[in-house]
Structure 1
Amino acid sequence: MAEIVYALEPGLTAAEFIDVLHRSGLAERRPVNEPERVEAMLRKADLIVTARAGGALVGVARSVTDFVYCCYLSDLAVDRALQGRGVGKELMRRTRAEVRPGTTCLLLSAPKAVTFYEAAGLQRHANAFLFTDMP
């Protein structure tokens, strides 16, 4: 296995992102059939941390943040072939390192990933709410 190289990649392409979403299992919860929308997701993100092995994208953490108060880690995707090897935890650690100390970092877990986040030591928050359309 090639060494994992982590980097900030604000210019990550939609094609690479979509590919790793498929390889991670997250594609079922993202608009991968709408490349223009995925491209907009990437361009409007404030922080994109990647993991590459031998130049190939194997993981990504995409966040929306102001870097001082709140950081929402919207997408954490790791190729299934590397899951369980610390790549996701390192992507989260590097995301956290890019924001100012005291910044609240949060995410919403996919149902299948709850145990990963619990094992990684993240705290559950009972007061989260979702809304898509307001009455």
Structure 2
Amino acid sequence: MSEPPRILYARESALDVAEFRRVLEESGLGATRPVDDEPRLQAMLAAADLVLTARLDQPGTPLVGVARAVTDFAWCCYLSELAVSASVQGLGIGKGLLEEARRQLGPKVSLVLASMPDAVGFYHRMGMAPLANAFWYKRSI
């Protein structure tokens, strides 16, 4: 049995929009993100305070995971995307991205997110508590 590939996690403030789009599509998040609107995707990346990536430690291997967040680095962080390509799901990459986010944010910063319905179990397994008192205005487009 071969060893699982080594995953490299990094902070990439200048992530290529095409790589971001591809991982969104491969993860399934592309169905709920504006993947056909490149300027909007670019704006999403440019305005993010924290963009973390996961890449396989193999030559020429593309991006396989991304976490994008808006934070003040002092009190709170909203994780707007946690996307892992379907072909590598199950290798612990989502967990690794969450751990890297928490490491970079430190213990004084809360981490909140809105889960896709089919990912709720994952966040429970990661030890995240659901919030019964969260509210939002849904975007109109």
**TM-score of the pair, normalised by structure 1:** 0.94
Count of aligned pairs between the two proteins: 133
Q: Percent identity?
A: 48
SS of residue matched to 2:55: strand
Equivalent of residue 135 in structure 2, options 110, 113, 129: 129
The alpha-carbon deviation at position 99 of structure 1 amounts to: 1.2
The aligned residue for residue 101 of structure 2 is 95
Dislocated runs of 4+, deviation >4 Å: none
The amino acid that maps onto 1:28 is: A
The amino acid that maps onto 1:35 is: E
5+ unaligned residues in a row in structure 2: which ranges? Answer: none
The alpha-carbon deviation at position 2 of structure 1 amounts to: 3.8
The aligned residue for residue 110 of structure 2 is 104
Distance 2:5 2:133 in 1: 41
Distance 1:98 1:67 in 2: 9
Equivalent of residue 60 in structure 1, options 58, 66, 84: 66
Distance 1:72 1:61 in 2: 11
The aligned residue for residue 29 of structure 1 is 32
Which segment is superposed worse, 65-74 or 47-56?
A: 47-56
Query: Please, what is the CA RMSD of the aligned residues?
Result: 1.2
The alpha-carbon deviation at position 58 of structure 1 amounts to: 0.2
